[in-house]
Amino acid sequence: MRLPKYIVYYLAEKKRIRLGLSPDPALDYHYWQSQGYLYSPPRALSGPLPLFSAQRLLSTFTHKPFVEQNATFLQRLRLKWRSHRSLTPPLDLPSLPSVGQQELESLMRGKLYLWQELARLWRGEDLASAVQRLVLDGKCQLTAAVGQDSWGRLVCRRCGSTRVEPDRWCCKDTTCFQCVECDALGKASTCTALVAMARTGQDIRRDVAVKLAFSLTAAQSAASRKLVEFVQNQTSHTCLLWAVCGAGKTEVSYEAARIVLAKGGRVLFAIPRRSVVRELAERFKGAIGGVPIQALYGGVSSEQRRREAPLVIATTHQVLRFYRNFDLVILDEVDAFPYRGSQMLQRGVERSLRPGGKRIYMTATPDRAMLERAKGERWDLVRIPVRPHGHPLPVPVPLIDPSLGEEPGRLPLRLLSIIESSPRLFLFVPSVRLCKAVAVKLAKTIPKVASCHAQDPQRDQKLLAFRNGEIRVLVATSVAERGITVPGAEVMVLFANSQLFDEGVLVQMAGRSGRAWDNPTGRVWFVANSQSQAMVEAIGQIKEQNHQAEQLRLLTVA
C-alpha cells in the first residue's frame, strides 16, 4: 500500500486549538470526539499533500502537532483566514480502527520502518488509518523519510545524513530526493515515510539459563562477573571490554545478557561481518536456553524479519531498524569498520537503546581516542589481558633493514631463511599489488605459497587450505587480520612501517599467532626499513597486556 496524501487541518474549541495532519481529518475528528472533546468540525489548511510537504506546512503553524494548545485571538484569526474551507464531516464518521491494532503494535514495537517495509509485513487492511490511530494515541512517530532540518537542509531521518540526491525517475511529475548513505537498507526518500514506535514496559520475566560446553578460565570469570556488576549497576551506562585477540570475549558476555533477558529486557549483539552472524547465532542458541533468538543481516526474508525475539544477533547496520528497543547493546569490534568513525551507526546504536539502556563495547585494540573517551566519560573498563591457555602473547620482534626497498624485488636473505623455516606463516603486506608480487617472488624458491586479499574470489578456500596445511605461506593484505584462527601460525608483517598499518591493525595481525591450545606460543616479526610510531606503540601495547596478566597472576607459565 502506497503512502497516502496528508491534509493539514486544525480543530478548535473556544480558545483551544489542535493542529495536525491526517489522510482523513474526519477520522481524527472522530477520535477526539471519542476522547470527550467538543471541537467544531475540522478546518483544512491545505489540500491533500505529500507527507513531506504537509509536514513542512504544518511546521510553519506549530511545533507541537496533535497537542492541544491555547491560541490568541490573532492566531485563531490567522488560522481561519488561512483555512480555505471547513471540512464537513460525513454523517457516518469513519470507524476508528481497532481490529488488528494489537497485531500492528506488536509488529511495530521497538522498530523503525520505512513505509513500504511495514506495508509488506502488514496483513490487515487500511494501514494508513491504523497507523494514524497510533499517532493520535501518541504511541508512534510518523515522518517523511527525508525531511528538512531547522536550517532548511534536506536530511535523512533514518541515518541523519545530508547526502541526499535528486531522483527524477522515482515519482511522476516531481523530483524526489533520496538518501545515498543508507540506501542499502531500502530507499529512504522524500516520497516515503518512516514509522517508529518505542517499546514501552518490560516483557514478562523469563527463565533463562546459560550452559557452556567448557568452563570459563579465571580471567574470563573475573571479566564476566564485572560485566554482571555493570548491568546491575544503576549509575553506569557504558562499559569497555578490552580483551586480547583470542581471549574468548563472546562467552564472557553471556551471563550479563542472561540477567537482562531474565528480567524481561532485550539484548542486541552486533558484529561487523555478515558471514559471522549465523554462526554466532548458533553459538548463542547452544549456550543461552529459554529465549527465542533472531539473526538479522542484509537479505534475510521478511518472514524472518517479522519475527520478534528478545535476543537479536545482527550485523552492525541492522541497528538502524530499531527504535528505543534494547536494554543492552553489545557491540563487538568497535574499533573496526564499519562502526569506527561512522556517525550514522553511532547514532543508530543510541536510537536503538531505550532510555537508560546500556552499551558494552568490545575490542582487542582500542585506539587512544577511545581509551581517552572511556576515561573522560567514566566508562567501566573490564580487561582480559590473557588468552584462555594462559600463555603470554607473542611479542613482535622488529627486524629493521634500511636496505629494504619499496619493491619486493630483493628480499634480504635473512628474511627468506625465516620464511623458509616457519612451519606456517601469515605474511602480511600493505597492498593488493604487493600481495601478488611477493607471492610470485616467493613461489619461485619456496613451495606451498599463495596470496589472498579482499577481492580474491577464492579467499575462503585459500584460508581453509592454509588452515589444513596445504598452503604453508599465505601472503595476505590486512583483510585476513581478524576473526580467523589457524593453529600454529606465525606472523610476519612486511613493510610494517606502512602508513596503512596503525597500532590497532598491527596488534590484530600479531594476534593471529599463538592462539591454539596445543600450540600456544608463536613468533611474530615486524619487518621494515625504519621503525614507525605505530610499531613502537603496538609492541608496547602487547607487552603491557602481558605485564597486566602477570600482575594479576593470570599466566599459567612464566
**Stretch near Zn ion under the rule CB under 5 A, chosen from 148-156, 271-279, 316-324, 447-455:** 148-156
Minimum separation from the CB atom of position 529 to Zn ion (A) = 44
- CA pair distance 230, 237, nearest whole angstrom: 8
3-state secondary structure 156-199: ECCCCCCCEEEECCCCCCCCEEEECCCHHHCCCECCCEEEEECC
- Near Zn ion by CB under 5 A: residue from 176, 435, 489, 527: 176
**Eight-class DSSP state of 447:** S
Angular region, 186: left φ>0, alpha ψ -120 to 50, beta rest: left
By beta-carbon proximity to Zn ion, the closer residue of 115 and 426 is 115
Q: According to the binding rule CB under 5 A, does residue 170 interact with Zn ion? A: yes
Which one-letter DSSP state was computed for residue 85? E
Please identify, using beta-carbon distances, which residue of 171 and 516 lies nearer to Zn ion.
Answer: 171
CB atoms within 10 A of CB 334: 24
Residues in binding contact with Zn ion, number by CB under 5 A: 12
Query: Which of 54, 79, 104, 179 is the binder for Zn ion (CB under 5 A)?
Result: 179
Per-residue binding string, Zn ion, 269-308, x by CB under 5 A, is ----------------------------------------
Question: Cα–Cα distance between 326 and 341 in angstroms, integer?
Answer: 22
| 510 scored as a contact of Zn ion (CB under 5 A) | no
Question: What is the grid cell recorded at 415?
Answer: 628474511
Q: Per rule CB under 5 A, is residue 331 in the interface with Zn ion?
A: no
Between CA 420 and CA 415 the distance in angstroms is 8
**Closer to Zn ion at the Cβ: 73 or 169?**
169
User: Using the 8-state DSSP alphabet, how is residue 97 labeled?
Assistant: P
Residue 310 C-beta: closest distance to Zn ion, Å: 28
CB of residue 192 to Zn ion, shortest distance in Å:
7
Q: For residues 158 and 199, which CB has a smaller minimum distance to Zn ion in the complex?
A: 158
Choices 113-121, 154-162, 348-356, 515-523; region in contact with Zn ion by CB under 5 A: 154-162
In 83-143, which residue ranges form alpha helices assigned H by DSSP? Answer: 101-108, 115-121, 127-136
3-state secondary structure 335-377: CCCCCCCCHHHHHHHHHHEEEEEEEEEEECCCCHHHHHHHHHC
342 or 529: whose CB is closer to Zn ion?
A: 342
Distance of closest approach, residue 455 Cβ to Zn ion, in angstroms: 27
Q: Specify the residue, 237 or 347, whose C-beta has the smaller distance to Zn ion.
A: 347
Distance of closest approach, residue 352 Cβ to Zn ion, in angstroms: 15
Cell of 265: 529486557
Cell numbers for 302, please give them: 521478511
What are the strands of the beta sheet with 326-332, ordered from one edge? 293-296, 311-315, 267-271, 326-332, 353-363, 238-243, 380-384
The rounded Cα 374 to chain-centroid distance in angstroms is: 19
In whole angstroms, the minimum distance from the beta carbon of 179 to Zn ion comes to 3
> Least distance (Å) from Zn ion to the CB of residue 188?
5
Q: Interaction with Zn ion in 180-209: which residues (CB under 5 A)?
A: 181-182, 188, 191
One of 171, 309, 381, 437 touching Zn ion (CB under 5 A): 171
Work out how close the CB of 274 gets to Zn ion at its nearest, in angstroms, rounded to a whole number: 20
- Put residue 100 in one of left, alpha, beta given phi > 0 → left and psi -120 to 50 → alpha: left
- Of the candidates 8, 140, 155, 156, which one interacts with Zn ion according to CB under 5 A? 156
Q: How far is the CB of 29 from Zn ion (least distance, A)?
A: 30
Q: Which residues of this chain interact with Zn ion, rule CB under 5 A? A: 156, 158-159, 161, 170-171, 176, 179, 181-182, 188, 191
